[in-house]
Structure 1
Amino acid sequence: MNDKILSAGTATTDITPPIGSVINGDFFPHRAQAVMDPLYAKAIVLQSGSIRLALVMVDICSLTYEFLDPVKQQIEAATGIEARHQLIAATHIHSGGTVTGIFLSEVDATYSAALAAALVQVVTAACAHLTPCQVAYGSAMVPEHVVCRRYHMKSGFVPFDPFGNGSDTVVTNPFGNEDKITARAGATDPELAFLAIRSLEGTWLAVLANYSLHYVGDFSRELISADYFGHFARCLKEQLGAGSDFVALMSNGTSGNVNIWDFLSPGRYPGGAFEKSKLIGTALATRITECIPQLEWETAAALAIETTLFEWPVRKPAAAELEMAQEWLREAQFDTDKHPGPQQVKQIYAREQLLLAAEPDHCPVYLQAIRIGSGRISALPGEFFAETGLWLKERFSSTPYFTICLANGNIGYVPPPHEMEAGGYETWRCRTSKLEAGAEPEIRTRLEQLYKKI
């Protein structure tokens, strides 16, 4: 069997939650009042020799180990694709169903069961459509839509934090304090990288893109939408003139410190609902379409996958901090119809301390290193800063490379050590920012070690 002859199959399945479902990703849960555009789970299955790889993007905020582990076992039983050869990632929309408890949102058991079945179904369907293919990697720089959301502030400014420490030296999304900003506090990754796949006859099969931008969310929190990820997919399919089997997937890169709210130039985007999402999705699709004539296609492309699983200590609250959290919660009354003020944010984080104290002392960290032909793709299970992605791209600069985040689980924000010291929202201790300092450089090192094997 020739281990460089590559085949690909694609599939898409609708995972739109029903009206009334819980939408998470905010401090408070929201209830879906309308569906503006459908949500999907999209799969690419690649086979080279005896190796099969499943790449799945899911229109959802977050996926956990606890949810994905049994799903991967079911996919392996149904398709033969080993669990370690499955990359299942969240696009990180904040306008979809919930299988993860985030702040005051709880797991939606009914939707979780439906999504689990859908993921098994979509990978199984992709396996049924394998056809010989060719692949190509492309890249374009699109810096205008990635903004560092962390800012240095003027001397004397005392930023809010939910623990009352007053020790943060950066502020994330400084709403109402724009006049106190002195400079942005971090790098962004401007690259739009992608893997293109088509049949040997030239029929479009898939494009897996990667951009380090958080969700846009320029619409009501009670609406179901695939955000700019969905606009990108629809626009790219139209621009390429692709058929019904074509799948466009946008993956979330290293965007933990990045969003689209520019506090130094707030008027540069249209303000209507969905206008920014459409503008950005269309712009990214257009840039890929412009790259297509320059692509160099590979008709022989071997697969290689290496994984590692290790544990990292969790930042646990001390006894005195737990006692204070319990005191703050005695008077807590969460009004989910209003935007939370400082007192409610303090109480929400107090609740997080109690929940975090009940979790295990160590958190599993699962990493994937994948090689498809001449290119490499890493899968990281959390929200990483652009600095991490840029460092990895520099280390692997001899070949096409990109990092898919929120993949195979979610260990929360993983800031570089100096960003942990600077503080800010991404570092505030809770279930979505819980690892002890030092995790980020350890992950870099272990990922390098994985790539030495392939």
Structure 2
Amino acid sequence: MKKLIVGAAIIDVTPKKPMFLHGYPHVERTSEGTHDPLYASALIIDNGENQIGFCAVDVIFISKEITKRVRELVEKSTGIAGKNLMISASHTHSGPVTVTDIFYDPVVPAADPEYIQYLISKIVQAFVEAFKNKRQCKLAVTTADSTGVGGNRHSISGVTDAEVPVVVLKDFMTDEIFALSVIHCMHPTVLHEDSKLFSADFPGFTREFISDSLGENVVLLYQTGPSGNQSPRHFIESNTFDEAKRLGDLLGNRIVKSVLRLNESDYQDWCSLHIQSVEVNLPRKEFMPLIDAERKVASAKDKLDTMRRNNADAKEIRTVECDWFGAEENLKLVKMMVNGDLENVYRDVLPAEVDTVTVDKFHFVFLPGEFFVEYSLSIKEAASEKVFVSTLSNGVIGGYIVTEEAEADGGYEASNSIFSAKGGKVIVETVHKMLG
């Protein structure tokens, strides 16, 4: 008789010392304490034929090197094939530096080697403990609606993807829920540069809400979907912990309600598991001449200064401020291209790893970069079965993968990308081929 055996674990990965908080350009920001812990949450699914592991980590990025080392160590400890392990970053902007700065910001220090080793050991520990915690279980997949928990950061009426997949794991014998895995297409950036405390941002409050509602031992894996142009910017009144809690509770409440609506017939005690992985080279961006890059910085700064003098709306100022940051980063990239340093970046981040994990009739896609939400929708629209996309997984590729429209507009995200918008189409086509 086939059985579904699943284990879950959660491990604190909060740094033990003050560290630079990574996420906001050109801001020197060192932690002064911890508001809520950063976690690595792991899940091992074993159907007797295959074992697949997932880990969601409350950090800004997971590098290819971190992925490689974790896979090697977990395979050695558990026998699970390293390629069957998916590791995703929540992308909180209130956590430590975990990769050498891919936004080419001179303010951001290199990642602390001591913390990187600590982080690797903790992610491995989470996987190993999940492996040891395996028990017979039942699995269901549902969705929640995240409308109102942020949206398009360029326009309040812009494109969004509010569908939040929720994988629910129940103990076969006790019928108690012991783990959830979710993917939400949203930047976790309620907290801004004035906050100097380690925090998972609003997903941390979502975790608390679910724990309070479904049981303190429920492990939540929170993953971020394509959200390069998604944020809470136009949906909050302030960049405070109270606002982070409001959004976190709103999302948590939606998830809990979706879970509690499930019937016993929605659960299954066995499912098929399949995994595919391919490596893709992405088309490089064509950079503007150096003189044009310098003019772009001057123009963006002039526009920002004018808006500040005229006391424009704070949210609109923030958008233009980000455009200025992007122009500065674009200038840095152009200089790196001229002197040849950009070749080292391409060598480090390519090829991009694309993974698909199929759980019964549900497909989960894992991509390494910050993609605009339009790519999530493109992948879903062409699929004959349900597909969900997790990003910031198994490596970083440098900057954003924007749409062709955003590339032509030349805003913040397009400015600090090192790949052409055509890369998004390459990824979408790759995923479609993988899913048949």
TM-score range relative to shorter protein: 0.7 to 0.9
Q: CA deviation at 1:270?
A: 4.5
Check the 8 A contact 1:6/1:132 in 2, yes or no: yes
Check the 8 A contact 1:380/1:404 in 2, yes or no: yes
Q: Which has the higher strand share?
A: 1
Could you tell me how far apart the structure 1 residues matched to 2:293 and 2:95 are? Answer: 34
Could you tell me how far apart the structure 2 residues matched to 1:397 and 1:237 are? Answer: 34
Check the 8 A contact 1:384/1:413 in 2, yes or no: yes
Report the secondary structure of 2:6's partner residue: strand
Could you tell me how far apart the structure 1 residues matched to 2:325 and 2:241 are? Answer: 29
The answer to whether residue 91 in structure 2 is matched with residue 92 in structure 1 is yes
Q: CA deviation at 1:199?
A: 1.1
> Which residue identity does 2:190 align to in structure 1?
G
Q: CA deviation at 1:416?
A: 2.5
**What does residue 165 of structure 2 align with?**
193
**What does residue 298 of structure 1 align with?**
268
> Which residue identity does 2:428 align to in structure 1?
R
Check the 8 A contact 1:54/1:86 in 2, yes or no: yes
Q: CA deviation at 1:398?
A: 3.2
The answer to whether residue 290 in structure 2 is matched with residue 321 in structure 1 is yes
Question: Percent identity of the aligned residues?
Answer: 24
Check the 8 A contact 1:146/1:212 in 2, yes or no: no
> Which residue identity does 2:345 align to in structure 1?
E
**What does residue 410 of structure 2 align with?**
423
**What does residue 166 of structure 1 align with?**
none
Check the 8 A contact 1:204/1:243 in 2, yes or no: no
**What does residue 393 of structure 2 align with?**
407
Q: CA deviation at 1:150?
A: 1.9
Check the 8 A contact 2:180/2:221 in 1, yes or no: yes
The answer to whether residue 203 in structure 2 is matched with residue 203 in structure 1 is no
Moved over 6 A (4+): 322-325, 339-345
**What does residue 350 of structure 1 align with?**
331
Say which of 206, 212, 221 aligns to 1:238. Answer: 212
Report the secondary structure of 1:54's partner residue: strand
Q: Which has the higher helix share?
A: 2
The answer to whether residue 260 in structure 2 is matched with residue 275 in structure 1 is no
Counterparts of 1:32-431 in structure 2, within 5 Å, are 32-102=31-101, 103-104=105-106, 105=108, 106-151=110-155, 186-201=158-173, 202-218=175-191, 220-240=194-214, 242-244=215-217, 246-262=218-234, 269-271=236-238, 273-295=240-262, 296-315=266-285, 317=287, 321=290, 348-353=329-334, 354=336, 355-360=341-346, 363-396=350-383, 398-399=385-386, 401-411=387-397, 412-428=399-415, 430=416
Q: CA deviation at 1:423?
A: 2.2
> Which residue identity does 2:113 align to in structure 1?
A
Say which of 10, 13, 16 aligns to 1:12. Answer: 10
Q: What do the CA deviations read for 1:25-58 (whole angstroms, capped 9, x no partner)?
A: 1223421111111111110011112311111000
Structure 1 stretches lacking a partner, 5+ long: 152-182, 263-267, 329-338
**What does residue 154 of structure 1 align with?**
none
Q: 1:311 to 1:32 in 2, by over 3 A?
A: same
Q: CA deviation at 1:323?
A: 12
Check the 8 A contact 1:216/1:259 in 2, yes or no: yes
Q: What do the CA deviations read for 1:57-105 (whole angstroms, capped 9, x no partner)?
A: 0000011113321221122112112121111000000001221123232
Check the 8 A contact 2:293/2:330 in 1, yes or no: no
Q: CA deviation at 1:293?
A: 3.5
> Which residue identity does 1:310 align to in structure 2?
V
**What does residue 430 of structure 2 align with?**
446
Check the 8 A contact 1:9/1:45 in 2, yes or no: yes
Structure 2 stretches lacking a partner, 5+ long: 298-317
Report the secondary structure of 1:145's partner residue: coil
Check the 8 A contact 2:326/2:411 in 1, yes or no: no
Check the 8 A contact 2:293/2:327 in 1, yes or no: no
Could you tell me how far apart the structure 2 residues matched to 1:301 and 1:410 are? Answer: 31
Could you tell me how far apart the structure 2 residues matched to 1:149 and 1:270 are? Answer: 14
Q: CA deviation at 1:356?
A: 2.6
Q: What do the CA deviations read for 1:331-384 (whole angstroms, capped 9, x no partner)?
A: xxxxxxxx9899887555433442535433682111111111232211111111
